[in-house]
Amino acid sequence: MSPKPTHSPADPDAGPLTRRRLFAGAGVAGAAVAVASMLPAAKTQAPAVASAEPAAGAGYRLTEHVRRYYQTARI
């Protein structure tokens, strides 16, 4: 009986733990930890919602600076 090869060129993932695979795994694990630490903070922050109702007639107003913008935007 001959010993089984530990690594075959056809399957690069099957083989002994190399330094390159160790560092790649550590990088992936570090990125996963960073993403996982950001998730709880994203859940607790609620978007800011304007609670005050605008006054009647406080919508669009054609003011002087708006007129100047319209003048510069003409083709």
With a CB cutoff of 8 Å and minimum separation 6, the contacts of 6 are 15, 16
Residue 42: its pLDDT value, please?
53
CB 6 within 8 A of CB 15: yes
Distance CA 26, CA 24 (A): 5
Give the C-alpha separation, 24 to 33, whole Å.
14
- Tens place of pLDDT per residue across the chain (75 aa): 566 655 555 555 556 778 888 888 888 888 888 887 777 655 555 566 655 555 666 778 889 999 999 999 987
What pLDDT does residue 52 have?
Answer: 57
Q: What is the pLDDT of residue 48?
A: 65
**Cα 16 to chain center, whole Å?**
34
Q: What is the rounded CA–CA span in Å between residue 60 and residue 57?
A: 8
pTM of the model: 0.34
